[in-house]
């Protein structure tokens, strides 16, 4: 892959850069730390940022133009990503919609659904969430128990979802429910678009160890969904869910971007803190810093290779799992080093915002390691689907998830 801009890409980069300068005061900026509770004001600010970027053609750049996208290519999308990163623009608040729900609606939705939903999703006019996980169904997603029963007025939904990111701010969600309890686990599931404001939907935020409440329990008590809001065929929801899961891994780590605090913020922090450390701490910190920076660079270039591959194949493959595994590892190493650089001052981090971002980020990264497929599940997928090793269920037939392969799980 040639990393130099073509003349056309270079012109495009200048345009993007100029747009971000012109709209500087209209956009939310940050260093990637997960400091602020996503309260209503913050969410509104970030929605506004996403709308400004969308109106400027910088969100949905590669999405189909007939539904509000830009119809552009991945190489220019990479230019946009780099310029957003360079300008320190906060990541889009509608990331679940952009990364998972939107691609699923595009791949499996009806014309009517695509026309009604995609443009507003891109602009964060409507936020979207993903209602897959349940108390007894996380890695083993095919164990979903939420029921959908077809009656005259539509599908009646009964059940509970959990860990639903930003559900308290969302208008719509994609919901995986069991429609045929007699079919095999993977055959009896169906995907729906659910209106989160419909009667019977109750959203309860959950407090996380980083202090935030960015995910929720969602109770579904006889919620009615019209049959026209089905995504894909009845009992074919597993296939639809696989589209979501592949896009999810790609969205979380596949692009080679940074999760958590940015590495340039870590470098600035190190420059500030190294003089306060003793000789041994300093040597260890510099070595760790070198490792984090090299790994970040390697992850970015691996992300570019993946993008090139998608350009050719049209969709993310199982390799996206490697990107997510690596991005999470780097995010954790970055936050961890940020805390270690504080030395003894780390105990006071809570009282100083600038320092607290490292501790807060350190408390957030274990959660990112679980979201969108745990490290163990992703390693299973890489072992089986990329390296061609035997499936874990073949080696451990007594598991609670027999007769499935890792591809059947998150
Ligand atoms: C920050 C965050 C955001 C999230 N957002 C959403 C969301 O928006 N929507 C949504 O639907 N879900 C969401 N989730 C849920 C997430 O997808 C699940 O947490 C994840 O799939 C793991 O499921 P579980 O928590 O039930 O753990 P379990 O599946 O019970 O796993 C427990 C442990 O067992 C290990 N394990 C399980 N099976 C195997 C196996 N076959 N081989 C080896 N090890 C195994 C796991 O790796 C893990 O360490 C989110 C989670 C987090 C932390």
pLDDT tens-digit profile of 193-204?
999 999 999 999
The mean pLDDT of the chain is 88
The response to whether residue 87 sits with its C-beta less than 6 Å from ligand 1 reads no
CA of 376 relative to ligand 1 center, distance in Å: 10
Please report the atom of ligand 1 found closest to the CA of residue 364.
1
The response to whether residue 146 sits with its C-beta less than 6 Å from ligand 1 reads no
Pocket test for ligand 1, best of 371, 397, 399, 400 (most atoms within 8 A of CB): 371
pLDDT tens-digit profile of 284-327?
999 999 999 999 988 888 887 777 777 777 666 666 778 888 88
pLDDT tens-digit profile of 208-259?
888 888 899 999 999 999 999 999 999 999 999 999 998 888 787 766 667 8
What fold is seen in the domain 128-236?
Butyryl-CoA Dehydrogenase, subunit A; domain 2 (2.40.110)
Domain boundaries, the chain: 7-93, 128-236, 255-373
The response to whether residue 100 sits with its C-beta less than 6 Å from ligand 1 reads no
The response to whether residue 114 sits with its C-beta less than 6 Å from ligand 1 reads no
Which residue's C-alpha comes closest to atom 26 of ligand 1?
A: 138
CA of 165 relative to ligand 1 center, distance in Å: 13
pLDDT tens-digit profile of 395-407?
443 322 333 343 4
Mind spelling out the 3-state secondary structure of the chain?
Answer: CCCCCCHHHHHHHHHHHHHHHHCHHHCCECCCCCCCCCCHHHHHHHHHHHHHHHHCCCCCCCCCHHHCCCCCCHHHHHHHHHHHHHCCECCCCCHHHHHHHHHHHHHHCCHHHHHHHHHHHHCCCCCEEEECCECCECCCHHHCCCEEEEECCEEEEEEEEEEEECHHHCCEEEEEEECCCCCCCCCCEEEEEEECCCCCEEEEEECCCCCCCCEEEEEEEEEEECHHHEECCCCEHHHHHHHHHHHHHHHHHHCCCCCCCCHHHHHHHHHHHHHHCCHHHHHHHHHHHHHHHHHHHHHHHHHHHHHHHHHHHCCCCCCHHHHHHHHHHHHHHHHHHHHHHCHHHHHHHHHCHHHHHHHHHHHHHHHHHHCCCCHHHHHHHHHHHHCCCCCHHHHCCCCCCCCCCHHHCC
The response to whether residue 229 sits with its C-beta less than 6 Å from ligand 1 reads no
CATH architecture of the domain with range 255-373: Up-down Bundle (1.20)
């Amino acid at each position: 892959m040639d990393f130099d801009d073509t003349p056309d890409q270079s012109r495009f980069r200048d345009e993007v850069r100029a747009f971000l300068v012109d709209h500087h005061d209209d956009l939310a900026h940050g260093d990637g730390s997960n400091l602020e509770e996503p309260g209503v004001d913050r969410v509104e600010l970030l929605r506004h940022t996403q709308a400004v970027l969308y109106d400027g053609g910088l969100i949905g750049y590669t999405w189909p133009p007939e539904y509000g996208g830009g119809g552009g290519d991945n190489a220019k999308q990479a230019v946009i990503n780099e310029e957003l990163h360079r300008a320190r623009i906060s990541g889009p608040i509608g990331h679940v919609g952009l990364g998972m729900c939107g691609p699923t609606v595009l791949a499996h939705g009806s014309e009517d659904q695509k026309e009604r939903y995609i443009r507003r999703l891109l602009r964060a006019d409507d936020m979207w969430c993903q209602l897959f996980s349940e108390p007894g169904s996380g890695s083993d997603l095919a164990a979903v128990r939420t029921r959908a029963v077809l009656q005259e007025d539509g599908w009646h939904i009964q059940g509970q979802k959990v860990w639903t990111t930003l559900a308290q701010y969302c208008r719509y969600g994609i919901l995986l429910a069991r429609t045929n309890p007699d079919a095999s686990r993977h055959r009896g599931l169906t995907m729906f678009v659910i209106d989160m404001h419909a009667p019977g939907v109750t959203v309860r935020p959950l407090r996380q160890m980083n202090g935030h409440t960015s995910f929720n329990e969602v109770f579904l008590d006889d919620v009615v969904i019209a049959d026209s809001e089905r995504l894909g065929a009845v009992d074919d929801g597993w296939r639809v869910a696989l589209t979501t899961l592949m896009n999810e891994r790609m969205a979380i780590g596949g692009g080679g971007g940074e999760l958590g605090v940015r590495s340039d913020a870590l470098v600035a922090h190190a420059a500030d803190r190294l003089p306060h450390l003793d000789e041994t701490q300093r040597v260890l910190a510099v070595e760790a810093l070198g490792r984090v920076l090299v790994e970040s660079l390697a992850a970015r270039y691996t992300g570019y290779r993946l993008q090139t591959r998608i350009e050719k194949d049209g969709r993310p493959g199982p390799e996206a799992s490697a990107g997510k595994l690596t991005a999470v590892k780097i995010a954790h190493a970055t936050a961890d080093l940020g805390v270690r650089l504080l030395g003894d001052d780390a105990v006071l981090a809570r009282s100083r915002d600038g320092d607290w971002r490292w501790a807060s980020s350190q408390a957030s990264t274990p959660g990112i390691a679980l979201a969108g497929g745990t490290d163990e599940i992703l390693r299973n997928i890489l072992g089986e689907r990329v390296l061609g090793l035997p499936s874990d269920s073949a080696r451990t037939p007594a598991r609670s998830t027999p007769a499935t392969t890792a591809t059947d799980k998150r």
